Amino acid sequence: MSGILIIPSIDILNGKTVRVVQGIPEVGSKNYGDDPVEMALIWRAENAKMLHIVDFDFSHEHSQKNLDVIREICSSVIIPVEFGGGIKTFDDAEKVFDAGVFRLVIGSLSLDSAEKFKEMIKTFGPERISAAIDVIDNEVVVHGRHDKTGISPIEHAKRLVDLGAERLIITDVKRNGMLAGPNIGLTKQIAEAAKVKVTHSGGISGYKDLAKLLQYSKTGIDSVIIGRAFYENKFPCQKIWRLAEKGLFN
């Protein structure tokens, strides 16, 4: 769709591709194949211009066991890869960048240590750092979406921009992975208040949702992350593409 970059999501848990309900592994996950690298190649073959990867082992256990998988994905596709997964230190950031990742997604760190977040943006550049805002009932949540902060998403967005952020990723956690429709109103409000580039995440269930989101591209929403709707063929063309590509990567 013209005007908004569509970014397929690959969630990795124990080296496998999963879709995690509401972004919380304990709530439930569904395995979509053993090989995240093959999934990345499929999305690239389906004309993806960028990939969004979430490493739940890194995020919840601070385990780096999937770094080799991340490295292989980055070397296998010729498009930028965005990585989210509990980045806490400069060492974390450097290891992920060394694996070939183009952009990091920083969430909890921006609240746990504002100065460190600010320094990361200065060190690596604002184009290589996205700030994630995860929201439940109009309240920012952190630490794997388990801890409430009492902070409104608009207040937090303005604070992130003051710290140097030039891109925000907005997720309504209750819509994430549910195919229940996107909370476009939330993303639009934040985009208009923060006046920076914004990526919408969560709730996209098909083409009609994308068409609705496209109406607000002039507010600063320039991209959207889609997961489950792609994996479950909620877009008309996908089944044809999958049949045509069967066995291509074997």
Catalytic residue among 55, 57, 92, 134: 134
Q: Is there a catalytic annotation at residue 92?
A: no
* 54 conformational bin, left if phi > 0, alpha if psi -120 to 50, beta if neither: beta
Catalytic residue among 11, 55, 92, 172: 11
How far apart are alpha carbons 86 and 57 in whole angstroms? 9
Whether the Cβ atoms of residue 81 and residue 111 lie closer than 8 Å to each other:
no
Q: Is there a catalytic annotation at residue 209?
A: no
How far apart are alpha carbons 191 and 11 in whole angstroms? 25
Rounded to 5 degrees, φ, ψ at 181 are 95, 145
Where do the H-state alpha helices sit in the chain? Answer: 36-45, 56-61, 67-76, 90-98, 109-112, 114-124, 153-162, 184-194, 207-214, 228-231, 238-245
Active-site residue set:
11, 134
